[in-house]
Amino acid sequence: MKSLWCALLVFLVAGQGVDAGDKDPNDPNELLRAKSGAVVEDPNDPNELLLSKWDAVVKDPNDPNELVRAKWDAVVKVLQAKDLDKKVKERLIGKIVSPMFDFPLMAKLVLGRRHWPKLTPPQREKFTRLFTERLKTSYLEKTKLYTDEKASLKPAVRKKTVIYIPMQLLSKDKKIAILYKLRKVDKRWKIYDVEIQGVSILLTYRSQFDDILRRGTVTDLLSKLEKRPAR
pLDDT (tens digit per residue) in 14-31: 333 223 333 333 333 333
Q: Radius of gyration over alpha carbons of the chain, in Å?
A: 18
Contacts of residue 71, defined as CB under 8 A and 6 or more positions apart, other chains included, come to 11, 37, 56, 58, 96, 97, 100
Q: Which residues partner with 8 through β-bridges?
A: none
Q: What pLDDT shows up at residue 142?
A: 59
DSSP, collapsed to helix, strand or coil, labels residue 152 as strand
For 92-101, what is the mean pLDDT? 86
Could you tell me the pLDDT band of residue 39, with boundaries at 50, 70 and 90?
very low
Q: How far apart are CA 180 and CA 84, in angstroms?
A: 29
Integer CA distances (angstroms), 176 to 109, 125, 169, 179, 181, in order = 25, 34, 5, 10, 16
Candidates 51, 12, 5; CA nearest to 146 is 5
Contact 165, 154 (CB under 8 A): yes
Q: What pLDDT shows up at residue 227?
A: 86
Query: Domain 2-226's class?
Result: alpha beta
Q: How far apart are CA 210 and CA 111, in angstroms?
A: 8
Q: What pLDDT shows up at residue 206?
A: 95
Higher-confidence position of 47 and 198: 198
pLDDT (tens digit per residue) in 137-196: 766 665 555 667 788 889 999 998 999 999 988 877 788 899 999 999 888 899 999 998
Q: How far apart are CA 145 and CA 227, in angstroms?
A: 24
Q: What pLDDT shows up at residue 221?
A: 96
Q: Catalogue the E-assigned strands of the chain.
A: 150-153, 157-159, 162-171, 174-185, 188-196, 199-200
Higher-confidence position of 230 and 165: 165
Higher-confidence position of 59 and 41: 59
Q: How many CB atoms lie within 10 A of CB 31?
A: 12
Contact 95, 55 (CB under 8 A): yes
Contacts of residue 219, defined as CB under 8 A and 6 or more positions apart, other chains included, come to none
Q: Give the start-to-end residue ranges of the domains of the chain.
A: 2-226
For 84-103, what is the mean pLDDT? 86
For 196-223, what is the mean pLDDT? 94
Q: How many CB atoms lie within 10 A of CB 204?
A: 13
